[in-house]
Amino acid sequence: MSTVRQYELVYITPPEITEEALADLHQQVSAVVDRFGGTIEKTENWGRRRLAYEINHQRPARCSKSSIAVCGCWTLSCAT
């Protein structure tokens, strides 16, 4: 069995996203992590930020970060 590894996932979403839509996105990510036997240890809401570069012609965005603990072999499963 592989060792548990720590990963960080940063969500960059449009600034006008609602709290409900952001919670739904978090639930979808949580379901994928659970399916591979991992856990989301912590989620931080960074709030609205001005990006250094535009994404889809927008500079402001809402950002969140999740710390994930999962078996190191899950990246191979996600790639296939």
CATH assignment at residue 69:
3.30.70.60
Q: Which residue has the higher pLDDT, 28 or 1?
A: 28
Show the domain range for 17.
Answer: 4-79
Per the structure, how many domains does the chain have?
Answer: 1
- In this model, does residue 74 exceed pLDDT 70? no
- In this model, does residue 76 exceed pLDDT 80? no
User: How big, in percent rounded to 5, are the helix, strand and coil portions of the chain?
Assistant: 30, 50, 20
CA 10 to CA 2: how far, in whole Å? 24
Each residue's pLDDT tens digit, 2-51: 688 899 999 999 999 999 999 999 999 999 999 888 999 999 999 999 99
Select from 25, 28, 30 the least CA-distant residue to 11. Answer: 25
Q: Looking at the whole model, is its pTM more than 0.85?
A: no
